[in-house]
């Protein structure tokens, strides 16, 4: 019966479109037709367009919902391929695996932050055969600056555009600057930590990390605190402004307060799978880690429990009205609940704040489009800025750790909350 109803609906839409002389512009991104954003374009998307009330029902983005939108959905039926440049690594990578129905949640004990929201910036660099090959100069010994004064050869080679500039550290600003540099072959990703380049076309500095295949699982990389990927889990350009985040994310937490020094499952002192290390490793224990919850450490997967709802969620201990207030906050809520975020670094320079990893440029585009500074929202700022600060805490004060996340139960195992990531299409 359901198939008959939708067949009749499709015929009606085609008839209306033909009578109206509607044509579908070839420039419309096919992913626009995935209205419900489940990676498959089907009758569910068509129904949302016909109803016309969904915020993404205007498929061709012309400011109205009509038969042209429905026709484009019909012509676009089928699964969406995945763009490796936007969402790399295999469908079974931890970065692309959703929280499962078998997830077991444990407390984190996260408290209110001192004052502001924080981001950590990851660098995604595309190269061409015309770009020169450079040796990365190891700046591990000058991590606190100036990084561009390092002189230790690493033997690590990478193609790199001469135009790329990454500022040195300054004052108290000590960015981790993990970087993933896609080589001209379109599959090899050279990774470093503490990327710096002070002169266009000049030497490039960084701490060499694992080189990975864009079509593989992409687990290791340039995060010094955990050894995890420089680009897997990064919130990419555009993801906080349109569509939804369809992958796990990465976060930093103050480990002096929350990270356990215990040896984790599949790991070692202060870390657990999928991490490779902890950044405060001192022999047989993790020095500087003051947490008392064994499941919370480098490599831990944090997520919002399934019973929480964006429209009604509250911040424990706060008197704010319930519900997420900003679109940026709602997109993060969706991702934290459906995919979660891995702990990859220690926010050692700030005793109470929490950070999320974003691609270079995300802060600027969100600020320009929404007025929200995701790296400096405080309780003192009004309007949408203050609303985002409250949303940030509605998330963090409700986050749990997925205690049974592991190589044989990624995301906790069971049925995934959202469909599996489709195969890479390029």
pLDDT digits (tens, 9 = 90+) for 125-150: 999 999 999 999 999 999 999 999 99
Residue 406 lies in a domain: yes
Rounded to whole angstroms, the Cα distance separating 255 from 346 reads 6
Instruction: Please give the radius of gyration of the chain, using alpha carbons only, rounded to the nearest integer.
Output: 23
Q: Is 370 found in the same domain as 266?
A: yes
Q: Is 361 found in the same domain as 286?
A: yes
| pLDDT, greater one: 313 or 419 | 313
Q: Is 209 found in the same domain as 180?
A: yes
Which residue, 407, 355, 357, 117, is CA-closest to 232?
A: 357
Of 108-117, 156-165, 216-225, give the lowest mean pLDDT range.
108-117
Residue 359 lies in a domain: yes
Residue 218 lies in a domain: no
The residue segments making up the domain with residue 206 are 121-213
Residue 226 lies in a domain: no
Torsion angles phi and psi, residue 170, rounded to 5: -150, 135
Q: Is 41 found in the same domain as 149?
A: no
Where are the strands (E) in 95-214, listed by range? 105-106, 118-126, 133-138, 152-159, 179-182, 188-196, 204-208, 212-213
Rounded to whole angstroms, the Cα distance separating 199 from 313 reads 48
Q: Is 143 found in the same domain as 50?
A: no
pLDDT digits (tens, 9 = 90+) for 84-120: 999 999 999 999 999 999 999 999 999 988 678 999 9
338 near 217, Cβ under 8 Å?
no
Q: Is 245 found in the same domain as 150?
A: no
Q: What is the DSSP string of 79-122?
A: EPPBPTTTS-S-TTSGGGPPPBTT--EE-------SS--EEEEE
CA atoms within 13 A on the CB side of 17: 21
pLDDT score recorded for residue 25: 45
75, pLDDT greater than 90: no
Residue 191 lies in a domain: yes
Residue position matching structure tokens 């230790």: 152
Residue 158 lies in a domain: yes
Residue 224 lies in a domain: no
Residue ending a domain, among 180, 213, 246, is: 213
Name the 3-class secondary structure at 50. helix
267, pLDDT greater than 70: yes
Residues of the chain with pLDDT > 70, as a percent, come to: 93
What is the rounded average pLDDT of the residues 226-251? 95
Rounded to whole angstroms, the Cα distance separating 177 from 180 reads 10
Q: Is 344 found in the same domain as 310?
A: yes
382, pLDDT greater than 90: no
Residue 88 lies in a domain: no
Rounded to whole angstroms, the Cα distance separating 48 from 54 reads 6
| pLDDT, greater one: 242 or 331 | 331
pLDDT digits (tens, 9 = 90+) for 182-204: 999 999 999 999 999 999 999 99
Looking at beta carbons, which pairs linking 49-54 to residues 24 or more positions away fall under 8 Å? Answer: 49/73, 50/9, 50/13
**What tokens were used for 33?**
């037709």
**Total count of domains within the chain:** 3
pLDDT score recorded for residue 351: 67
Q: Is 141 found in the same domain as 112?
A: no
Q: Is 396 found in the same domain as 324?
A: yes
Residue ending a domain, among 79, 105, 137, is: 79
Residues of the chain with pLDDT > 90, as a percent, come to: 72
114 near 376, Cβ under 8 Å?
no
280 near 288, Cβ under 8 Å?
yes
Q: Is 349 found in the same domain as 336?
A: yes
Beta strand 118-126 with 355-359 is parallel
Mean pLDDT of the chain: 91
Q: Is 296 found in the same domain as 284?
A: yes
Distance of alpha carbon 383 from the chain centroid:
26
pLDDT digits (tens, 9 = 90+) for 7-56: 455 545 444 444 444 444 447 888 788 887 777 899 898 889 888 888 78
18 near 24, Cβ under 8 Å?
no
Q: Is 111 found in the same domain as 237?
A: yes
Of 21-35, 152-166, 368-382, 396-410, give the lowest mean pLDDT range.
21-35
């Amino acid at each position: 019966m359901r198939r008959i109803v939708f067949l009749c609906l499709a015929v009606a839409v085609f008839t209306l479109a033909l009578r109206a002389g509607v044509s579908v512009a070839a420039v419309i991104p096919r992913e626009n037709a995935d209205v419900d954003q489940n990676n498959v374009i089907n009758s569910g998307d068509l129904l949302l367009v016909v109803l016309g009330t969904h915020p993404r029902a205007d498929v061709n983005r012309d400011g109205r919902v009509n038969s042209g939108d429905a026709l484009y959905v019909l012509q676009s039926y089928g699964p969406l391929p995945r763009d490796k440049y936007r969402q790399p690594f295999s469908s079974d990578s931890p970065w692309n695996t959703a929280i499962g129905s078998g997830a077991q949640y444990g407390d984190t004990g996260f408290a209110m932050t001192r004052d502001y929201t924080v981001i950590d910036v990851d660098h995604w660099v595309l190269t061409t055969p015309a770009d020169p090959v450079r040796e990365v100069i190891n700046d591990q010994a000058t991590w606190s600056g100036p990084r561009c004064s390092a002189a230790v050869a690493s033997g690590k080679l990478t193609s790199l555009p001469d135009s790329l500039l990454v500022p040195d550290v300054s004052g108290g600003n000590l960015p981790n600057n993990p970087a993933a540099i896609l080589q001209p072959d379109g599959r090899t990703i050279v990774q470093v930590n503490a990327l710096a380049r002070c002169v266009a076309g000049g030497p490039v500095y960084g701490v060499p990390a694992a080189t990975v295949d864009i079509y593989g699982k992409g687990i290791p990389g340039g995060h010094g605190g955990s050894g995890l990927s420089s680009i897997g889990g990064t919130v990419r350009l555009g993801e906080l402004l349109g569509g939804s985040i369809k992958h796990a994310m990465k976060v930093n937490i103050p480990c002096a307060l929350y990270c356990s020094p215990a040896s984790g499952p599949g790991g070692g002192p202060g870390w657990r799978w999928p991490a490779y290390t902890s950044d405060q490793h001192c022999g047989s224990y993790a020095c500087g880690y003051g947490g008392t919850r064994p499941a919370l450490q480098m490599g831990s997967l944090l997520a919002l429990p399934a019973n929480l709802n964006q429209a009604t969620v509250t911040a424990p201990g706060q008197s704010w009205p319930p519900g997420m207030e900003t679109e940026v906050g709602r997109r993060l809520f969706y991702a934290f609940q459906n995919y979660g975020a891995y702990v990859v670094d220690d926010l050692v320079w700030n005793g109470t704040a929490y950070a999320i990893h974003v691609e270079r440029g995300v802060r600027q585009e969100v600020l320009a489009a929404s007025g929200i500074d995701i790296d400096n929202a405080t309780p003192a700022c009004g309007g949408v800025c203050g609303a985002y600060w409250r949303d940030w805490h509605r998330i963090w004060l409700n986050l749990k750790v997925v205690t049974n996340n592991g190589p044989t139960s990624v995301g906790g195992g069971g049925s995934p909350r959202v469909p599996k990531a489709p195969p890479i299409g390029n």
